[in-house]
């Protein structure tokens, strides 16, 4: 299975998705450090939110085969600038989380991820499990680039 690094702002759903991908019960806890086990790298949201910490994402991306940019379907804005995936040295996919939330707007989140440069987008709910198996199947497939 290819290794994936999950990046996104705090509360985007990175840790919940990590737990769902591993088949674990979903329990909230704040990620305080980079957590790397098996084929998943879970990163703190502050690394994506704080310019002085962004370099850490670049360093940890070298340990991954795929970078998953997470964007919650309830976000009022996108953290990612247009075309940001062009600077990545790894394959980037978009992951829209919290699609089961009553205020979710997954189409808007998808548009923002496409604008950031993600060509492949997954829609997931870590709590219901919707879309989780799609990501696992994708990670089992050979690299597309």
CATH number of 47's domain: 3.40.50.300
pLDDT tens digits for range 32-54: 768 778 899 988 888 888 888 87
Strands (E), 51-113: 66-72, 91-97
Q: What is the pLDDT of residue 51?
A: 81
Residue whose entry in the numeric block shows the structure tokens 């290819």 = 2
In a domain, 132, yes or no: yes
* Domain enclosing residue 34, as ranges: 4-140
Which of 13-22, 56-65, 133-142 is least confident? Answer: 56-65
Q: In what order do the strands lie in the sheet with 35-37?
A: 35-37, 40-42, 4-7, 66-72, 91-97, 121-123
Question: CA end-to-end span of the chain, whole Å?
Answer: 16
Note the pTM of the prediction, 2 decimals: 0.91
Burial class (CB in 10 A: 0-12, 13-18, 19+), 145: exposed
Please check whether residue 32 lies inside any domain of the structure: yes
Counting the structural domains of the chain, the total is 1
pLDDT digits (tens, 9 = 90+) for 112-142: 999 999 999 999 999 999 999 999 999 998 8
Structural domain contains residue 145: no
**Structural tokens at position 141:** 């497939």
């Amino acid at each position: 299975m290819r290794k994936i690094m999950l990046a996104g702002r705090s509360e985007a759903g990175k840790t919940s998705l990590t737990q769902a991908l591993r088949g674990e019960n979903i329990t909230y806890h704040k990620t305080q450090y980079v957590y790397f086990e098996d084929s998943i790298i879970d990163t703190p949201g502050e690394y994506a939110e704080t310019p002085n910490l962004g370099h850490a994402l670049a360093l940890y991306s070298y340990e991954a085969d795929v970078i998953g940019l997470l964007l919650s379907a309830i976000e009022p804005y996108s953290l990612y600038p247009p075309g940001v995936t062009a600077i990545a040295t790894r394959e980037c996919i978009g992951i829209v989380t919290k699609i089961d939330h009553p205020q979710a707007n997954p189409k808007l989140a998808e548009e923002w991820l496409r604008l950031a440069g993600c060509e492949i987008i997954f829609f997931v709910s870590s709590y219901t499990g919707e879309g989780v198996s799609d990501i696992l199947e994708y990670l089992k497939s050979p690299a597309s680039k």
